Amino acid sequence: MGDFVTLFFPNHCLGCSSSLYKGEDILCTRCILELPKTKYHEHVENTIKARLTGRLPLTYAMAFLQFRKTGVVQHLLHQLKYNNHPEIGVRLGKIYGKELADSDYDKAFDLIIPIPLHKSRRRRRGYNQSAKFAEGLSSTMNIPWDESIAERKIKTTTQTRKTKTERWENVRNVFYIKHPERIINKRILLVDDVITTGATLEACGHELLNHGCSEISIACIAEAQ
């Protein structure tokens, strides 16, 4: 069966397009080895935590990769968000979740929640890319994830060309906690794709704290400078 599937759907690495060997999944070994990792889980005081100091009380703040305007991370995130490749989010989440679990972070959280997309955007894309990352993290950290707790009630415009203040104004009231009973006294790991100013995580994190979770940590696929 495996060979039959391979014959009709040859598997190529979504990072570099080279053929995948047996045992490789979504990404080739070389692409995985060359991923620009932040290793922030080994440095609790890091630039993401510093970026959100005084804005959102955080236990841990982490990103798996460094985002650059060119290169494999930009390419993978583009495939994940715009080219219908949700499996990239799951794969990156599994790799990162394994690294986090190896450093005992699997005991630091009770529940993983992805930053929600507005339902019209989620419908158009077919999935929430942050939820796919959450799904991967969940599978190797053995921590449940839930994308139905938080909702984005307002469709926001793109944050790309906004200043820091404009970004905050754009997102401060967009999140709604639909199931507060599921987060009471829980240590939440809030997950997003790329962190820039952190305004989105800040807004969603405050909503979760206001509804009774005990602490918030964040993990993103990548950190933009």
Contact positions vs Zn ion (CB under 5 A) = 13, 15-16, 28, 31
Residue 35 beta carbon to Zn ion: minimum distance, rounded to whole angstroms = 10
Residues sharing a CB contact under 8 Å with residue 171, sequence separation 6 or more, in sequence order: 156, 159, 199, 200, 202, 203
Q: Which is nearer to Zn ion, 15 or 116 (CB)?
A: 15
**What is the dihedral sign for C-alpha 183, 167, 79, 127?**
positive
Instruction: Supply the minimum distance, in Å, between the C-beta of residue 77 and Zn ion.
Output: 15
Q: Residue 91 or residue 186: which is nearer to Zn ion going by CB?
A: 91
Q: Which is nearer to Zn ion, 6 or 148 (CB)?
A: 6
d(CA 63, CA 189): 12
The one-letter code for the residue type at 79 is Q
Nearer to Zn ion, 31 or 58 (CB): 31
Rounded to a whole number of angstroms, the minimum distance from the CB of residue 104 to Zn ion is 30
Least separation in angstroms between residue 19's CB and Zn ion is 10
Give whichever of 16 and 44 is closer to Zn ion, judged by the CB atom: 16
Burial 162-191 (b: 16+ CB within 10 A, else e): beeeebbebbeebbebeeeebbeebbbbbb
User: Least distance to Zn ion from the beta carbon of 34, Å?
Assistant: 8
**Number of helices and strands (H, E) in the chain?**
9, 6
The single-letter code of the amino acid at 25 is D
